[in-house]
C-alpha cells in the first residue's frame, strides 16, 4: 500500500492545509500595483483566465470566482482531500466558472496545454517544494501563462528568516525524533530554546507562529524541503519561463518613504540606484514574507497612459469599521503621512466616492502632489479603490455567503468573505465572522462595515 511519502515529494500531505484569504492575489489588486508601477495589466476587457497552483481547498479561488462570473478559474492541487473539499463548496455555492483538478505539477506537463491564462497565483507553495518539483512548475508556467501574463508569488523571504530559521529545523526533526503526534514537542522545544538562550530576532516570529494551529504549521514549517528564498534567487529560477520581477503586490511596498526613515531610507535609496534595491528593502525591514508579481513579457505603460488609468480609478475614504480593518490600521500607523496631506484627503473625500481625476481637481494641493497623496493613502488603506456595482456579482456573492454563513453556524472556520465593492477577498477576525454569521445581532460598526463592502 502506498504511503504519503511515495507521492508527496517531501510535502506535508498528512493533513489538509489551513484555509486562508489572500486579498493581494485578486486581479483588481494585482492590476492596481502593476498600473502604479507602470506595467500593463493582462486583462483586456472583462473576460480573463486565472489559475492557482497548489490551491488547497480553493477557498480564496472560490471567493474570486464569485466576484468574477465573467472569468474562468482553475485550481490545481495534488491532495485529494483538498480537491474534494473544494468541489463540495463550489457545488453548494452554485458556481459554474471554476474547476479544481487533482494533479501534481509533473502530471500537468503530460496534459494537453490549455488556453493560456492571464493570471497565475501561488501562495506559499514555492518555498515548500522539492527542487525538481520547482523545475516542473516553472515549465508549466512557461507553457500555461500567456505572453503579457502575470504570476502572483507569496513566499517566505530569506532576510526575515535568518535568525528564526532554527524554528523550521526543530519542526522538521523533533516530531520524528520524539515519535509524538502533532507538534507539541516541537512547540515546547522552541519555547525552551527562546527562554534559555534569548536568541535575538526570534521572539517576535515565534509570537506569531505559536498562535497558529498545527494544520498551518505542518505546511509552513514541517515541509521537508521548506526554505525561505531571496527575490534575486527566485527570479533566476523563473528565468526558463521567461518571467521577470514586475512589482511587489502590496502597493505600500512601492513607496520607500512610507516604510523607511533616516539611515534606513538612505541605505535603501542608494542600493536601489546601484540595482539591488529589493534585497536592501528586505534587509532594512527584516521581513519574513513577500508577495510579488512576476511578468511574462508584460509591456510597460507610457507615462500618459499610466496617469490616465490611475485618474480613472474611483476612490473612497475608508475609516476602519471591522476589527480586522482596525488591526491593519494599527500596523500602518508607523507609516504616517504629513497631517496637512491627511487632512486634505479626508476633507476632499468626505462628500463621498469620486474618481482620482475629480479628487485632483477638487483638492487644494498642486496636481502632482494631489495624485501622489491619493496613491499614498490608498497604499495605507486609509482610502480604497472601489469597483462599479454589478447585479450578477452581487447575486453570486450572496449565494456563496449564504453557504459560508451556514457552515460557520455549524462550527466551520471563516477566514474571510468576498467584497463586491472592493472586488477582492476580505480577511475577517473571529469577531467579524461572528457578526457576519448573525447580522441581526451585529453592532452598528459591523453592520455599516459589511454594507460598505457590498455584503
* pLDDT tens digits, one per residue of 42-82: 998 789 999 999 999 999 999 999 999 999 999 999 999 99
Query: Which three cell numbers mark 378?
Result: 490608498
CA dihedral sign, ordered 363, 369, 374, 376:
negative
CA distance 179 to 346: 58
DSSP secondary structure code for residue 229 in this structure: B
Q: b vs e for 233-243, b when ≥16 Cβ sit within 10 Å of the residue's Cβ?
A: ebbebbeebeb
Cα–Cα distance for residue pair 94/104, rounded to 1 Å: 27
Which DSSP symbol is given to 22? -
Cα–Cα distance measured from residue 372 to residue 254, given in angstroms and rounded to the nearest whole number: 12
pLDDT digits (tens, 9 = 90+) for 23-45: 999 999 999 999 999 999 999 87
**Distance between CA 286 and CA 236 in Å, rounded?**
22
**Dist CA 376 CA 341 (whole Å):** 10
Whether 205 contacts 160, CB under 8 Å: yes
The answer to whether the beta carbons of residues 202 and 163 sit under 8 Å apart is yes
**Cell triple for residue 54?**
497548489
Rg of the Cα atoms in the chain: 22
Q: What is the structure's pLDDT at 184? A: 87
CATH 3.40.50.150 domain range(s) in the chain: 4-157+228-296
Query: Helix (H, G, I), strand (E, B), or coil: what is residue 13?
Result: coil
If you ran DSSP here, which 8-state letter would residue 301 be given? Answer: P
Sole residue written with cell 481547498 = 57
- Work out whether strand 244-248 and strand 424-427 pair parallel, antiparallel, or are unpaired: unpaired
Here the cell at position 141 is: 508556467
- Rounded Cα distance, 187 and 178, in Å: 12
**DSSP secondary structure string, 379-446?**
HTTSEEEE----HHHHHHHHHHHHHHHHHHHTT----EEEETTTTEEEE--HHHHHHHH-GGG--HHH
- Domain 4-157+228-296 part of CATH 3.40.50.150: yes
Per-residue pLDDT of the chain (455 residues; tens, 9 = 90+): 334 445 566 556 555 677 889 999 999 999 999 999 999 999 987 899 999 999 999 999 999 999 999 999 999 999 999 999 999 999 999 999 999 999 999 999 999 999 999 999 999 899 989 999 999 999 999 999 999 999 999 999 999 999 998 998 998 888 766 555 678 888 999 999 999 999 988 998 999 899 888 878 887 887 788 899 999 999 999 999 999 999 999 999 999 999 999 999 999 999 999 999 999 999 999 999 999 999 999 999 999 999 999 999 999 999 999 999 999 888 877 777 888 888 999 999 999 999 999 999 999 999 999 999 999 999 999 999 999 999 999 999 999 999 999 999 898 889 999 999 999 999 999 999 999 999 889 999 999 999 999 99
63 neighbors 414 (Cβ within 8 angstroms):
no
Give the bridge partners for 157, in sequence order. Answer: 229
Instruction: List Cα–Cα distances, 343 to 78, 340, 373, 375, in angstroms.
Output: 51, 5, 11, 15
Global pTM exceeds 0.95: no
CA dist 281 and 260 (Å) reads 9
- Beta-bridge mates of residue 82: none
Q: With contact defined as beta carbons under 8 Å apart, do 126 and 231 qualify?
A: no
**Cell triple for 454:** 457590498
Amino acid at each position: 500500500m502506498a504511503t504519503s511519502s511515495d507521492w508527496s515529494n517531501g510535502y506535508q500531505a498528512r493533513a489538509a492545509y489551513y484555509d486562508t484569504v489572500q486579498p493581494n492575489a485578486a486581479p483588481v489588486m494585482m492590476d492596481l500595483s502593476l498600473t502604479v508601477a507602470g506595467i500593463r495589466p493582462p486583462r483586456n476587457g472583462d473576460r480573463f483566465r486565472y489559475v492557482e497552483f497548489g490551491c488547497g481547498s480553493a477557498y480564496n479561488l472560490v471567493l474570486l470566482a464569485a466576484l468574477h462570473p465573467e472569468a474562468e478559474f482553475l485550481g490545481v492541487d495534488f491532495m485529494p482531500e483538498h480537491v474534494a473539499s473544494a468541489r463540495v463548496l463550489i457545488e453548494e455555492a452554485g458556481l459554474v466558472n471554476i474547476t479544481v483538478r487533482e494533479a501534481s505539477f509533473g502530471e500537468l506537463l503530460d496534459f494537453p496545454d490549455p488556453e493560456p491564462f492571464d493570471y497565475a497565483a501561488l501562495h506559499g507553495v514555492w518555498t515548500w517544494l522539492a527542487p525538481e518539483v520547482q523545475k516542473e512548475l516553472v515549465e508549466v508556467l512557461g507553457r500555461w501563462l500567456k505572453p503579457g501574463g502575470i504570476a502572483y508569488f507569496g513566499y517566505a523571504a530569506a532576510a526575515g528568516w535568518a535568525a528564526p530559521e532554527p524554528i523550521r529545523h526543530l519542526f522538521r526533526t523533533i516530531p520524528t525524533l520524539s515519535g509524538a503526534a502533532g507538534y507539541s514537542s516541537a512547540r515546547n522545544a522552541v519555547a525552551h530554546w527562546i527562554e534559555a538562550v534569548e536568541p535575538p530576532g526570534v521572539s517576535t516570529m515565534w509570537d506569531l507562529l505559536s498562535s497558529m494551529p498545527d494544520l498551518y504549521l505542518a505546511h509552513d514549517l514541517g515541509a521537508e524541503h521548506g526554505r525561505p528564498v531571496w527575490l534575486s534567487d527566485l527570479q533566476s529560477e523563473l528565468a526558463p519561463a521567461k518571467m521577470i520581477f514586475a512589482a511587489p503586490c502590496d502597493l505600500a511596498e512601492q513607496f520607500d518613504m512610507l516604510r523607511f526613515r533616516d539611515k534606513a531610507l538612505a541605505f535603501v535609496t542608494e542600493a536601489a540606484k546601484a540595482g539591488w534595491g529589493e534585497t536592501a528593502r528586505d534587509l532594512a525591514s527584516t521581513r519574513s514574507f513577500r508577495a510579488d508579481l512576476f511578468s511574462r513579457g508584460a509591456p510597460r505603460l507610457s507615462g500618459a497612459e499610466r496617469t490616465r488609468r490611475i485618474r480613472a480609478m474611483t476612490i473612497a475614504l475608508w475609516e476602519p469599521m471591522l476589527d480586522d480593518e482596525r488591526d491593519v490600521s494599527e500596523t500602518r500607523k508607523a507609516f504616517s503621512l504629513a497631517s496637512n496631506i491627511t487632512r486634505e484627503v479626508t476633507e476632499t473625500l468626505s462628500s463621498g466616492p469620486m474618481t482620482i481625476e475629480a479628487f485632483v481637481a477638487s483638492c487644494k494641493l498642486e496636481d502632482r502632489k494631489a495624485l501622489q497623496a491619493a496613491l499614498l493613502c490608498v497604499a495605507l488603506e486609509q482610502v480604497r479603490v472601489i469597483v462599479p456595482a454589478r447585479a450578477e456579482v452581487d447575486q453570486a456573492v450572496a449565494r456563496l455567503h449564504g453557504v459560508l454563513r451556514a457552515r460557520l453556524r455549524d462550527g466551520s472556520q471563516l477566514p474571510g468573505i468576498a467584497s463586491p465593492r472592493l472586488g477582492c477577498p476580505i480577511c475577517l477576525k473571529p469577531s467579524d465572522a461572528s457578526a457576519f454569521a448573525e447580522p441581526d445581532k451585529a453592532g452598528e460598526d459591523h453592520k455599516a462595515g459589511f454594507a460598505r463592502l457590498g455584503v
